[in-house]
Homo-oligomer: A and B are copies of this chain.
């Protein structure tokens, strides 16, 4: 097995949490749920991470408060439409090439990988890149869920400039976004490049210090996701209600149980966009729900009234298994539970709501009201 060491004594290897295949199964389920419909298909991501485990690589997680203030941490994630990510597999070393390009550009050696978004496949991508690089992944992320655009991380919101960044695709192309006049411009240019590259690539942002990460990352994301997966699996095994188990663990609320009666979904500008219509299962069609989608579930309306919106988490779960149904896997007739979880307080500040609240998605008519905890 690969040994993960700190070249500069920036962390203590004794603090590492070494993942096994069982953890990956739980992470697949938990990251899928936290993905709020997006973040890339976690099943594909799990297969890639598991393959590395079987080849002798080490998937290791470090509590983010245990990293040295001066450590250089690079956040990495897949960028593109989940729909493309599931139909065209990665080459496998895109993320490593991103890290190497940044290291060469800055003349540095990085100490840890940070997670950009814990939702979906992007929970797996940092593990893969870190294993190939020989460094740990920090137990935190920049979203506490998944969001469709890059400026929507707490890293960007609280002042980190994500450029210079490196973008690599399945073909071997490497683009450095050397300077962007804003985080939004970085997103725009990178997104355009990703579309030209076929719709799914990997991006690593400029290094952050350990000190910054400790202050502004969403904490304990991997612990949360793996724990969530464990709770769902335990409920499945014991024939208990997994939806209730999720709500209990995450202080969430079940908003709706119904079936999908209409589904509009298309790929535009590199995003999966659309809307899902739901009819209540036990209400003889009287109760309705709808979900607006941009890669992730953005807004839930219940009988025409907005009940939950970004940045709070809107989960679409299989009503029996409690596992997430990602937006590209939605199908007519599916029976689903819609569950809402409160987002992390770092996403509810006024500066965060500008970026990840309804306004950040161009939904000017919707006013954010924090989800009431159950």
Give me the interface of A with B, judged by CB distance under 8 Å. 101, 105, 166, 171-181, 185, 188-189, 191-193, 195-197
The reply to whether B174 and A179 contact each other, CB–CB distance below 8 Å, is: yes
The reply to whether B174 and A175 contact each other, CB–CB distance below 8 Å, is: no
Q: Which residues on the B side are within 8 Å of A192 (C-beta)? A: 192-193, 195-196
A287 to chain B, nearest CB (A): 42
Distance between Cα atoms of A191 and B175 in the complex (Å): 13
Copies of this chain present in the complex amount to: 2
The reply to whether B173 and A180 contact each other, CB–CB distance below 8 Å, is: yes
Q: Which residues on the B side are within 8 Å of A196 (C-beta)? A: 188-189, 191-192
Distance between Cα atoms of A176 and B166 in the complex (Å): 9
A-B contact pairs, 10 of them (CB 8 A): A166-B178, A171-B181, A172-B181, A173-B177, A173-B185, A173-B189, A189-B193, A191-B196, A192-B193, A192-B195
The reply to whether B179 and A189 contact each other, CB–CB distance below 8 Å, is: no
The reply to whether B179 and A173 contact each other, CB–CB distance below 8 Å, is: yes
A180 to chain B, nearest CB (A): 5
Q: Which residues on the B side are within 8 Å of A188 (C-beta)? A: 196
CB nearest neighbor in B for A197:
B189
The reply to whether A175 and B175 contact each other, CB–CB distance below 8 Å, is: yes
The reply to whether B175 and A189 contact each other, CB–CB distance below 8 Å, is: yes
